[in-house]
Structure 1
Amino acid sequence: MLLTSRRLRAALLATASATLVAATLPASAPEPLGIGDPLFPHLGNPGYDVLAYDIGFTYRGDNTKPLDAVTKIDARSTRRLDRINLDFTQGVVRSVEVDGARAAFATAGEDLVVTPRESLGAGSPVRVTVTHTSDPTGGKGGWVRTKDGLAMANQADAAHRVFPGNDHPADKAAFTFRVTAPSRLTVVANGLPVAKSRAGATTTWTYRTRHPMATELAQVSIGDSAMVHRKGPHGLPVRDVVPKADRTRLEPWLAKTPGQLEWMERQVGRYPFETYGVLIAGADTGFELETQTLSLFERSLFTRPEYPEWYVDSVMVHELAHQWFGDSVSPLLWSDLWLSEGHASWYEALYAQEHADKPLEKRMREAYRLSDGWRAAGGPPAAPEPPAPGKQLSLFRPVVYDGSALVLYALRQEIGAGEFRRLQRDWVRDHRDGTAGTADFTRLASAVAGRDLSDFFEAWLYGRRTPPMPGHPDWKSEAAK
């Protein structure tokens, strides 16, 4: 994600089964549970690992009305379960089935608590089918109403405002989307199309991912859109989705994507997914978002004259870099967000240096000057302060963007450019399609460097004050005002 407020600045589970903490499902009243994420304590659910989602939406052409929906979840229990907690809110649940049998359900906080007829033993496969509505009018993330339809923006904790599931990036799964909409509209979703059928005035579009995905990265776009196809590196299918009226106007921007893909591959290795593209939406979100295989952008980014070309290019690269850092390798905890946003900001800045003569060192020196203030306002990079209540996007502070890219700059200064480049490539290769956290990164960095970097990372990631910059003893950081 890249917040719009940065635009005019010069620098512009312990396992994947979501069992980070032990919890015992109660035998009395249903209650909301979580996996123990320090920043979102009630997000995610213990006791099972989601393997696949199959989500169906029916959209009738009015983005002010709830969609009818059916969400099927294939999972495996990781211990005995008398109840199954799903994250879900903002929709009406009509029925729930567990392995084809009707199940009792209740709501508790933002959890849907399901009680199957029989308890599940550890290691049991289970299918939960929820028939529900999906309401695009509630705000706080999830569905975004565009000028001609809908799109999704689920980061950080809003996917469960769209569909029930285990809404934490530590539990990634395969996704299938089946979306029925008026035939005059275009539907696109994560992954590749696998079916399309018309019945009367409606068409059902089916998309499926080939790689596991975190719920916060889900994307479904419905609108009066043009879908533009071209080839990327190695024949990669590139498909962009733009408002039909803007197809010609936006083509110069769309044509940049194959070259940007090639540039990123030279930095960190082969693109990790089955397709890529940009989704340009007629909506004012305040951010751009790295939804997997189809990054979401505001139309205004490409049409407002005050944004110089180099800046728009670097924002496009920021979201593209997230496909490696944040999407393919997802954060184990939300406090690991610095790994995603720091790397995306790093490659954004590196691209601007190479293509627009915007020196990386100048940007990092300015970040260093501001770093102590950022840390005071939002916490150090790997121990951020919780978001403000009801304002989850407040988590996305400067310290997780350039403040975290600054950590990477310091690391490159510490271990050398060659070892730093090797670390980047090893990181996305070793953790592809998985989740990883700060401890994993520090261990790998130490292994690549051939020496223990624990003290370096402790100071740079957790210190309230910014450490001295290796190689730049004259750099100064201003105290918070």
Structure 2
Amino acid sequence: MLLTRPARPHPARRFLRRPKAALLASAVTVCLVAAGAPAEPLGVGDRIFPELGNPGYDVAAYDLALTYPGSNDKPLKAVTTIDARLTDSLNRINLDFAHGTVESVQVDGRRAAFTSAGEDLVVTPDHALPLGSVTRITVRHTSDPVPADDRDGGWVRTTDGLAMANQADAAHLVFPCNDHPSDKAMFTFHVTAPNGYTAVANGLPTGAVKAGGSTTWSYRSQHPMATELAQVSIGHSAVVRRTGPHGLPLRDVVPAADKTELEPWLARTPDQIGWMESKIGPYPFETYGVLMAQASTGFELETQTLSLFEKDIFTEPAYPKWYIESVMVHELSHQWFGDSVSPRTWSDVWLNEGHATWYEALYAEEKADRPLQDRMKAAYGASDRWRAAGGPPARPKPPAPGQKIGIFRPNIYDGAALVLFALRQEIGKDAFERLEKVWVQENRDTSVGTADFVRLASAVGGRDLTGFFRDWLYGEKTPPMPGHPDWKQVPAPASAGSAKKS
């Protein structure tokens, strides 16, 4: 994610906890059958989002069937099918789901009881699920694009339809899931929309079937994906296809009326992929593209194989061309850092954003003569203030209530890129570049954490870097910059300091 306009508050991204009474829907009698201890929300113990994700199972695959009614202010009908392997013996299964009406649940083809607890859908099958078994959970539900109680996330309503923005923990506002990046899975999408609309999703198309007044579009991922990276777009869109490096199929999705105007930006992607491959190795997925949505979000987002952008960033004259290109590279970089190599916990998000910011800045240096060192020196001057406000890069402060994307602060963008600059200073340019390539190659399609990066950096750097990373990633104060003893912290202007106190 890149907050392109962080100074502008975005009211649509307020997150408020709400009861899921709607989950009870038409099956109250079924729910009452569930006996035993009261249902309760669970989580995988994430420091930032304690109730996110669920223990006891590992999802292998999701199959999402969505039916768009032709209006983005009405719920979609949906069927979510989850194939999972039990990592513990369970009498109940908790799924994350918080904004929709559940009509029925089946476990292994048999009707199951369900209720809600916090932001969990709690399913009680009619049989115990033993350790090591494989189970299929089918949930028939609605998926509501209209925010309730000032809560938004998941679906983004565009001027002509919908798109998804599920980061950090909003996928469960769209479909039932194990909504944590530590549990990646394969995805299949079937999106039915009235004729005249175009539906796209992550991965490669597997067919489009027209029946009467609607068309069902199907897509399938070829690599596992975190729920926060899922993307479905429905609109009056044009799909622009071209070929990238090594025959990589590229597809961009843009408002049909703006296709010609936006083409010069779309044409930049193949060279940007080539540039990234020259730095860190082969592109990790089966396809890539840019989704330009007619919506106001205040951010761009690295949804896997199809990055989400506000269309206006490409048409706003105030943004210089070099800046727009660097933003494109930021989201492209995430396909390696964050998508292919995902964070094990949300405290590891600096590995996503620090690397994407690093390559964004490096691209601007090489292509637009914007010196990386100047940007890093400025970041160093502000680093102590960022740490005080948002926490150290690898221990970000939890977001304020109702502000889930509040974890995306400067400390995990330029502050984390500053850590990478210090590391390059510490171990040398050659070792650093080797580390980057090995990191994405060895951890492809997995979820890893900060400790894994520290171990690999120590191995590649030829010495124990635990102390170095402890100070740079967890210290309240920014350590001295290797090779630049003259770099100092810059006090905040008096006006900024006053504003912070309020």
State the TM bucket, normalised to the shorter chain: over 0.9
User: 3-state SS of the aligned residue for 1:2?
Assistant: coil
**Partner residue of 1:135 out of 137, 144, 158:** 144
Please list, as runs of the form range in 1=range in 2, the aligned pairs for 1:356-395 lying within 5 A after superposition. 356-395=368-407
Indicate yes or no: 2:99 matched with 1:87: no
Report deviation, 1:4: 1.8
Distance 2:489 2:475 in 1: 13
User: 3-state SS of the aligned residue for 2:388?
Assistant: helix
Report deviation, 1:479: 4.7
**Partner residue of 2:358 out of 325, 346, 365:** 346
**Partner residue of 2:279 out of 260, 267, 273:** 267
User: 3-state SS of the aligned residue for 1:288?
Assistant: coil
| 1:221 alignment partner in structure 2 | 233
Please list, as runs of the form range in 1=range in 2, the aligned pairs for 1:62-461 lying within 5 A after superposition. 62-138=71-147, 139-461=151-473
TM-score by length of 2: 0.92
| 1:52 alignment partner in structure 2 | 61
Distance 1:277 1:236 in 2: 11
Number of equivalenced pairs: 464
Distance 1:465 1:5 in 2: 27
Report deviation, 1:136: 0.2
Report deviation, 1:27: 4.2
| 1:5 alignment partner in structure 2 | 5
Report deviation, 1:59: 0.4
**Partner residue of 1:61 out of 65, 70, 92:** 70
Distance 2:130 2:67 in 1: 35
- 1:414-461 C-alpha deviation (Å, 9 max, x unpaired): 000000000000000010000000000000000001100011000000
Report deviation, 1:473: 0.2
**RMSD over equivalenced CA pairs, Å:** 1.1
Distance 1:34 1:479 in 2: 40
TM-score by length of 1: 0.95
Distance 1:239 1:348 in 2: 22
Report deviation, 1:140: 2.3
The one-letter amino acid paired with 1:115 is T
| 2:45 alignment partner in structure 1 | 36
- 1:107-157 C-alpha deviation (Å, 9 max, x unpaired): 001000000001111001000000000000014210000000000000000
Distance 2:56 2:138 in 1: 18
Distance 1:43 1:393 in 2: 14
User: 3-state SS of the aligned residue for 1:287?
Assistant: coil
| 1:23 alignment partner in structure 2 | none
Distance 2:207 2:135 in 1: 26
Report deviation, 1:37: 0.1
- 1:215-245 C-alpha deviation (Å, 9 max, x unpaired): 0000000000000000000000000000011
User: 3-state SS of the aligned residue for 2:308?
Assistant: strand
Distance 2:58 2:236 in 1: 37
Contact kept in structure 1, 2:393 and 2:473, CA below 8 Å: yes
User: 3-state SS of the aligned residue for 1:4?
Assistant: coil
Contact kept in structure 1, 2:6 and 2:298, CA below 8 Å: no
Distance 2:264 2:277 in 1: 22
User: 3-state SS of the aligned residue for 1:394?
Assistant: helix
User: 3-state SS of the aligned residue for 1:242?
Assistant: strand
User: 3-state SS of the aligned residue for 1:3?
Assistant: coil
- Structure 2, unpaired ranges of 5+: 9-34, 498-502
User: 3-state SS of the aligned residue for 1:351?
Assistant: helix
Distance 1:123 1:383 in 2: 34
- 1:298-333 C-alpha deviation (Å, 9 max, x unpaired): 011001000000000000000000000000000000
Distance 1:435 1:63 in 2: 34
Identity among equivalent positions (%) equals 69
Report deviation, 1:478: 2.7
Indicate yes or no: 2:473 matched with 1:464: no
- Structure 1, unpaired ranges of 5+: 9-25
Distance 2:6 2:414 in 1: 10
